[in-house]
Amino acid sequence: MRKKIIIGNWKMNKTSKEVKEFFEEFNKKELKTRSNTLYGLAIPACNIPFAIDKRVNKKFIVAAQDISKHLSGAFTGEISILMLKDLGVSHVIIGHSERRIYHGETDQDVNTKAKIALEHGVIPIICVGETLEQYESKQSKKIVEKQIKDCVKDLDLSKIVIAYEPVWAIGTGKTATNEYAQVMCNHIRKLTSDDTLIQYGGSVTPETINDLLKQPDVDGALVGGASLKVDSFIKLIEK
Ligand code: PEP
pLDDT digits (tens, 9 = 90+) for 57-89: 999 999 999 999 999 999 999 999 999 999 999
Q: 43 pLDDT exceeds 90?
A: yes
Query: Which amino acid is it at 109?
Result: D
Cα–Cα dist 103/37, whole Å: 32
Residue 175 confidence class, pLDDT cut points 50, 70, 90? confident
The residue annotated as part of the active site, out of 98, 105, 165, 187, is 165
Using CA atoms, how far apart are residues 92 and 81, in angstroms rounded to an integer? 9
The confidence score (pLDDT) of residue 173 equals: 86
Q: Whose CA is nearest to atom 7 of ligand 1?
A: 224
Give the pLDDT of residue 127: 98
Domains and CATH numbers, the chain: 4-237 (3.20.20.70)
CB of 41 sitting under 6 A from ligand 1 = no
> pLDDT digit string (tens) for 4-20?
999 999 999 999 999 99
Strands (DSSP E) contained in the chain are 4-9, 37-42, 61-64, 91-94, 123-128, 161-164, 197-201, 220-223
- Helices H, strands E: what count in the chain? 10, 8
In angstroms and rounded to an integer, the radius of gyration of the C-alpha atoms of the chain is 17
The yes-or-no verdict on residue 174 having pLDDT over 90 is no
Neighbours of 38 (CB within 10 A): 22
User: Is 165 annotated in the active site?
Assistant: yes
Give per-residue burial for 88-98: e unless 16+ CB within 10 Å, then b: ebbbbbbbbbb
Ligand 1 midpoint to CA 74 (Å): 32
DSSP labels, 61-87: EEEES---SSSSSS-TT---HHHHHHH
Q: Is 70 a catalytic residue?
A: no
Which whole number is the average pLDDT over 28-52? 96
**Cβ count within 10 A of residue 85:** 17
- Take atom 4 of ligand 1 and give the residue whose Cα is closest: 224
Answer whether 120's CB lies under 8 Å from 104's CB. no
Share of the chain above pLDDT 70, in %: 100
